[in-house]
Amino acid sequence: MRQIDLPLQIDRLRDLGADFTALQVTVEALNPQPGSDLLKEVGQQILSIHELVGRALIRLSVLDGSQYTAVPGSLFSLAAFSSVIASASTAASQLASAVSENPLEGAVFVGGPPPDVESIRQTRHAEAAPVLKAALASAARHLSLSANFCFNAASGITSDLTEYPEHRPDIPQLTPAQYAALELIAQGGALRYVGRKGAARVQGGDGKAIRPAPFAVLEEHRLVRVARTAGYVGQDVTVSAAGRLALAFQEPLVSKPTAPGAAPKPSNTARRLR
């Protein structure tokens, strides 16, 4: 049985769900009018769906045969997530049918064109437009289902680890400063700004500064996630699945204060904060 980082897998499932949702929005915005533009746009989305299906297969393969399969209830989460493959593939199939139904332009056989070529072209386009619209709508629905399967699987794994603490991964025990910083980020998010000389500062969603030392520990133990953006714009900081487990199942230490930024000791406590 392979040991994997389950909180990391939860984060990646949520990322995959977000990408399916973004692709759904893109497909919904496509103009169903027949022509070369539709062919180009639909072709790009088919390729994007196949890329997401590939990622879903990787996530399923990682979870299959891992320690998660020993957790009661894991079968339901895995079965639900496996539906992503079929649902997303159906979305790609619907877009493929749109490519097939999209009228193409070309010359007729030798013998001359019909008396009214433009009239025939308009008729073909008018007949194809509702078929294309239905195909795009069906593809968008299946992309929405794919996203929901990803989010449900992520929630299922989280619930399983919540209900069965003996299967929960080790969670770093946080100092009061580290816990407060993590809680602040969970409540309103945060932004990290990197200066021209490499110095970084982190600001909570409420405008309060987050001290560098506690934040460095949170980042080191992957309790937070920092969006990697170029330039000097603020990088979004969110709490990871591991960070949410830390907030939910432990209290900050209130004994002797540790040195700022000191690495926390692992623990697997099931104590709830509230």
pLDDT, one tens digit per residue, over 211-229 is: 999 999 999 999 999 987 6
The answer for residues whose C-beta is within 8 angstroms of residue 92's C-beta and 6 or more apart is 46, 49, 50, 53, 139
pLDDT grade for 272, boundaries at 50, 70 and 90: very low
Cα 93 from Cα 135, distance rounded (Å) = 9
Phi then psi dihedrals of residue 260, to 5 deg: -55, 130
* AA letter at 142: H
pLDDT grade for 108, boundaries at 50, 70 and 90: low
Question: What percent of the chain is modeled with pLDDT above 90?
Answer: 54
pLDDT digits over 155-211, tens only?
999 999 988 888 888 888 899 999 999 999 999 899 998 877 667 889 988 888 999
On whether the CB atoms of residues 269 and 191 are closer than 8 A, the answer is: no
Best CA proximity match to 12, nearest among 65, 59, 74, 49: 59
pLDDT of 118 higher than 70: no
Q: What residue ranges in 147-244 does DSSP mark as E strands?
A: 171-172, 190-194, 200-204, 209-210, 224-226, 235-239
Cα 213 from Cα 234, distance rounded (Å) = 19
Helices (H), 69-175: 74-101, 117-163
Q: Note the pLDDT of residue 3.
A: 92
Spell out the SS3 assignment of 80-97. HHHHHHHHHHHHHHHHHH
For the residues 251-266, what does the mean pLDDT come to? 55
Best CA proximity match to 260, nearest among 215, 203, 225, 219: 215
Cα 270 from Cα 254, distance rounded (Å) = 17
pTM over 0.85: no
The answer for residues whose C-beta is within 8 angstroms of residue 30's C-beta and 6 or more apart is 38, 41, 42, 45, 136
